[in-house]
Amino acid sequence: MQNSQQTARVGLFFILGVALIWVTFETLSGGKVFKDQGYNIVAGFTSLKELKTGDEVRMAGVKIGEVEKTRLAGRRAEALLRISPDVKIKADATATIVMAGLIGTNYISIDLGTDAAAELRDGAEIRTATTPDLNAVMSQIGELGKKIEGALGNLGGALSGDGKSPGIIQKVDQLVTENRENIAQTTGNLRSITDKMNRGEGTLGKLINDPVLYTDLQSALGEIRGGAAEAKTFIANAQSILDEVKRGKGAIGALVYDQKAADDLKASIANFRTVSDNLAKGKGTLGQLLNDDTLIRDTRAIMRKADRALDGLDDAGPLTAVGVVANGLF
Amino acid sequence: MRTLTRVLEGIGSTLQLLVRSLSHVPTLPRQWGRFIEQCYLIGYTTLPIVAILSFFIGSVLALQSGYSMENFGAKQFIGSLVGLSIARELGPVMCAILLAGRVGSAIAAELASMKVYQEIDALETMNIPPARILVLPRLAAVLVMMPVLAIIANLVGWFGGAIVAKYTDFIAIDPPAYFAALRRFMEFKDVLNGLIKAEVFGFAVVLVSCNIGLNTRGGPREIGASVTRAVVTSLILILVLDYFVTKALL
């Protein structure tokens, strides 16, 4: 009896141990014993980075499943995701690998997608997007650092020279050294000029130091300002005249904008031209008066005759005056 | 020089005993009763002390790591730390040390007294090799029981850590978060490594204890000396083997 009891205890103990090992194995290796069935979706990436079996799958931060398996499929890496059966993933949702901490914990984040899209079924593939990982960012920062270093090196080289050709600072130094006398002279001149200006000598000095000049300048400016105001008024008047003209008011307005007035003017000019042509050709009374000198000669002869008749009238007395005039005329 | 000779002598005799025992493996089914008895002594009766020790090892580990990791905001990784430490290192080593103290000493005492009181000689006279009926069942029993003890030590240790993590004010991590962290950084490979280590340690402890017990010479006083020697040698062997097995399994 004692012996069989011992055997039973050992057997029980052993079975307990084996069961515990099995439970541990199932729990740590992603077995399905304690999980609901759910469904699988496939997410393909160029690199799974630090993602490993058992990592979480989250939608909007809520855990909805986990990575069941990671595998290489041709030229890409695939993660098989186990999703809870009560969570529906839309076909336009996108999966990304997100880093949860600096020590290499990752999870897959799936966005909500749109309501209108269909739902992903078991075995379907979800759209994925690649996020830059820490290493990429670090290498970019490194490259940036190199560029800045290069730029600063170039600047330093330009300033201090590269051993063969002198840099800017050396060139400036050389320039200053070579032209020391000229610079001293120039600064001396500048100093004497500024001294003179300070003392109020010369035009600039007076401008700076003499209050009269300032007053004159002030009044001149006032006059210029008045002239400008008048010019402004003049321009305003001209503008108002132009506006009137544009509206067709006044003679010029009528001339410019009234077709009838323009036509009348054209006709008048044409008439005037005809008259002047006739005058030039000697047509009509005025034409003849202008072009034919016989009229003036006749007029002169009449005047002479009248003169003589008047002389005769003086002699014959007033009573015969009418007879003399009539005689002289006919 | 004399010490070195004794060490080499010990290694040699242990290996000889191992070879002799393995040569009797085919007789194992006929020794079922002895095998079960040894399983009971090595496994079942050792379980309580293993469980108590593992529980408090896990608790202290959680407490200490919580105290130190709080300083740099890594409290959520307590589960990972406790889990990995116990599964890979502390579980197997503590099991083996307890085995050396409780079972190794008992084996050495039993075999040493049998040797001192000439029972071993009597067996040999009857053409019954001591390696067959005294050593082989113990080796077989420890091989079967050690993984069981180690996995219980692991689980109890993990639970001890979880309880302390929840009920300590400055840690206050709920068991689901604790076990999620534990699972995140652990694979079954880690547990398996621990079980293999436990197996190696247990086997070495029992073999060395048997050898020291069987090689006892002199009077009853030597029984105590043999027990002390068996326990000390086992402890040293556990820690030396620990390094090499860990290195080999990494």
A319 located within any domain: yes
Of the three residues A131, A152, A168, the one that is the final residue of a domain is: A131
Least confident of A7-16, A50-59, B222-231: A50-59
The shortest CB-CB distance from A7 to any of B36, B148, B149 is to: B36
Which residues of chain B are within 8 Å of residue A29 when distances are taken between CB atoms?
187-188
Coarse DSSP helix, strand, coil percentages of chain B, rounded to the nearest 5 percent:
90, 0, 10
B186 to A28: CB separation less than 8 angstroms, yes or no:
yes
Determine the residue among B36, B72, B77, B138 to mutate to test chain A binding: the one whose Cβ has the most chain A Cβ atoms within 10 Å. B36
Write down the pLDDT at residue B113. 96
**Confidence label for A174 from pLDDT (cuts 50, 70 and 90):** confident
Radius of gyration over every alpha carbon of chain A, rounded to an integer in angstroms? 59
pTM of the model: 0.57
A80 located within any domain: yes
Write down the pLDDT at residue B52. 95
The domain total for chain A is: 2
A14 to B148: CB separation less than 8 angstroms, yes or no:
yes
Instruction: Identify the residue whose tokens are 């991590």.
Output: B173
Residue A230: CB atoms within 10 A of its CB come to 10
A13 to B191: CB separation less than 8 angstroms, yes or no:
no
Write down the pLDDT at residue B198. 96
A198 located within any domain: no
Under 8 Å CB pairs connecting chains A and B tally to: 62
Neighbouring residues of A113: CB distance < 8 A, sequence distance ≥ 6:
A89, A90, A91, A92, A93, A94
d(CA A2, CA A8): 10
Q: What is the β-pairing status of strands A94-99 and A56-59? A: unpaired
A118 located within any domain: yes
d(CA B229, CA B236): 11
**Confidence label for A245 from pLDDT (cuts 50, 70 and 90):** confident
Nearest residue of B to residue A104, measured between CA atoms: B185
Task: Give the number of residues written for chain B.
Answer: 250
**Predicted confidence (pLDDT) at residue A316 exceeds the cutoff of 70:** no
Of the three residues A116, A131, A146, the one that is the final residue of a domain is: A131
Burial of B170 (0-12, 13-18, 19+ CB in 10 A): exposed
Determine the residue among B34, B38, B44 to mutate to test chain A binding: the one whose Cβ has the most chain A Cβ atoms within 10 Å. B44
d(CA B114, CA B201): 25
Of the three residues A99, A131, A163, the one that is the final residue of a domain is: A131
- For all residues of chain B together, what is the average pLDDT? 93
Which two three-digit tokens encode residue B94? 């503590």
A105 to B184: CB separation less than 8 angstroms, yes or no:
yes
d(CA A273, CA A276): 5
Chain A residues with a Cβ under 8 Å from any Cβ in chain B: 3, 6-7, 9-10, 13-14, 16-18, 20-21, 24-25, 27-29, 54-55, 105
DSSP string covering B97-162: HHHIIIIIHHHHHHHHHHHHTTHHHHHHHTT--HIIIIIHHHHHHHHHHHHHHHHHHHHHHHHHHH
**Predicted confidence (pLDDT) at residue A317 exceeds the cutoff of 80:** no
Q: What is the residue extent of each domain of chain B?
A: 30-249
Query: Which residue type occupies A57?
Result: V
Min Cα separation B145/chain A (Å): 7
Min Cα separation A157/chain B (Å): 45
Min Cα separation A174/chain B (Å): 59
Min Cα separation B12/chain A (Å): 33
Determine the residue among A3, A18, A21, A33 to mutate to test chain B binding: the one whose Cβ has the most chain B Cβ atoms within 10 Å. A21
Which residues of chain A are within 8 Å of residue B34 when distances are taken between CB atoms?
none
Determine the residue among A3, A10, A18, A56 to mutate to test chain B binding: the one whose Cβ has the most chain B Cβ atoms within 10 Å. A10
Mean pLDDT of the A258-281 span: 85
Question: What is the residue range of A48's domain?
Answer: 36-131
Q: Look up residue A32 and give its DSSP letter.
A: S
- B145-187 pLDDT, tens digit each: 999 999 999 999 999 999 999 999 888 889 988 998 888 888 8
Q: How far is CA A107 from the centre of its chain?
A: 46
- B114-131 pLDDT, tens digit each: 999 999 999 999 999 999
